Amino acid sequence: MRDPEEELSQLQSSGLLRHLRRIESPQGIRVKLSGVGECLNFSSNDYLGLSTDDSLKSLYQKHIGHYGVGSGASRLVCGTMAVHLELEEKLAALKHTGAALTFTSGFATATGVLPALCGKDDFLILDKLCHASLIDGARLSEATLRVFPHNDLDRLQSHLEWASERVGAGGRILVVTESVFSMDGDLAPLDEICDLKERYRALLLVDEAHAFGVLGPGGRGLGAEPGVEGRIDLQMGTFSKAVGLSGGYLCASRSIVDLLINRARSFIYTTAPPPALAATLRDALDLVCGPRGDALRDDLRRNRETFSADSTSAIHPVIIGDNEAALAASARLLTLGFLVPAIRFPTVPKGSARLRVTLSAAHHFEEILSLKSALAQLASTR
Ligand SMILES: *Cc1c(COP(=O)(O)O)cnc(C)c1O
């Protein structure tokens, strides 16, 4: 039988062993790291700084006072409370879709939605850099899978052509991509992807995990941009990043959402999110997609421009290549007081280990400048 110790030492020798970092303070721009002390956090997805926002904290406390702390059952048993439906109605209204469904996480959304919509008669076509949750959802589906090189429209088209020649009358072709890619921070050409999926009568799912609350009109994601709005069949995302709380969502037509309620196993066979969380999310959407959100997005945009003239999102990779070198760079930054994670295989392709800098609306101008000079110093000594 395989010895787990041996597997761990193999991970260690290839520079791929991972450890949990222990944070002693609440989340924020400054966190207290166990054994290190206070450092500046450039690794969180809390893009608007809302995870510790005073107004959301007091709303959450108020809702806990009313609803308590748990939900008691799954959504289909007796766990669906008015607030879950209010949250979903608000989200559908914001996204201009017929309906919306919420899940316990973005991961659960992806692994529930793809197998619920696609089976062995169907075709799933994914961007090569899609998030692990989408890949796992695709694998669970038993559909025929095709992967196109990142943002490669010619290859997407040839896969669509290939699938459309094979799909039966009752079959389905679903294209899956992200609007902002999680490890590169670049954007998908959604307009052209919509043109292609329409030409081949395929459906399109776009994961907006890193865009919702950050980009697009009113922070509603890149699926809300003119030219694309109304054309994306399934808009997926998470409340765990810019919205500052947790949970996942899927916005689509009423019939797709009703089908998911009947078939998505990660929705059906899990306890409903606590109602106090759903109520806080409902309130948080007003904040994120309203004037306060706009002001925070302005702060974030200024910070992005300070960091890089060609910033496209809040995510800025610094590609290093080698695993050990990326780890060493991250460790060096930590000694200078900056928490910037090294990202390695299998999160990113082999040979493209990197530092992943994420910016928040809550960073200060000087903090970003000091990180930039530390990175420049690092590059010159490497
Ligand atoms: C973070 C992320 C998810 C998962 O969302 P959680 O709510 O954290 O489970 C899904 N897709 C992408 C692209 C992500 O970056």
Residue 168 Cα to ligand 1 midpoint, Å, equals 32
Mutate to test the pocket of ligand 1, among 238, 245, 277, 347 (most ligand atoms within 8 A of CB): 238
Identical fold between 22-47+314-381 and 54-288: no
CA distance 8 to 24: 27
Ligand 1 atom with minimal separation from the 246 CA:
7
* Ligand 1 site residues, Cβ closer than 6 angstroms: 105-107, 110, 131, 133, 178, 182, 207, 209-210, 238, 240, 248
| Contact yes or no for 140/281 (Cβ under 8 A) | no
CATH of 54-288, one of 3.30.70.980, 3.40.50.2020, 3.40.640.10, 2.40.40.20: 3.40.640.10
Ligand 1 atom with minimal separation from the 181 CA:
13
Ligand 1 atom with minimal separation from the 130 CA:
13
The topology under which CATH files domain 22-47+314-381 is: Aspartate Aminotransferase, domain 1 (3.90.1150)
Ligand 1 atom with minimal separation from the 247 CA:
7
CA distance 134 to 320: 26
Residue 216 Cα to ligand 1 midpoint, Å, equals 18
Ligand 1: residue whose CA is nearest its atom 3: 106
Residue 112 Cα to ligand 1 midpoint, Å, equals 13
Mutate to test the pocket of ligand 1, among 135, 182, 239 (most ligand atoms within 8 A of CB): 182
Residue 1 Cα to ligand 1 midpoint, Å, equals 34
Which of the residues in the chain have pLDDT under 50? none
Provide the pLDDT for residue 260.
98
| Chain position carrying tokens 């809040």 | 314
Look at the pTM and tell me if it is higher than 0.95: yes
Residue 241 Cα to ligand 1 midpoint, Å, equals 8
| Enzyme catalytic residues | 45, 131, 178, 182, 207, 210, 241
Q: How many residues does the chain have?
A: 382
Ligand 1: residue whose CA is nearest its atom 6: 106
Provide the pLDDT for residue 380.
87
> 376 Cβ partners below 8 Å, 6+ apart?
none
Residue 61 Cα to ligand 1 midpoint, Å, equals 26
Ligand 1 atom with minimal separation from the 131 CA:
13
Ligand 1: residue whose CA is nearest its atom 4: 106
Residue 27 Cα to ligand 1 midpoint, Å, equals 18
Ligand 1 atom with minimal separation from the 45 CA:
1
State both tokens at 164.
């459309």
- Residue 145's identity, in one-letter code, is L
Mutate to test the pocket of ligand 1, among 131, 236, 315 (most ligand atoms within 8 A of CB): 131
Ligand 1: residue whose CA is nearest its atom 1: 209
| Contact yes or no for 103/267 (Cβ under 8 A) | yes
From the CB of residue 56, how many other CB atoms can be counted at a distance below 10 Å?
A: 20
Ligand 1: residue whose CA is nearest its atom 7: 106
Query: Domain segments of the chain: what residues?
Result: 22-47+314-381, 54-288
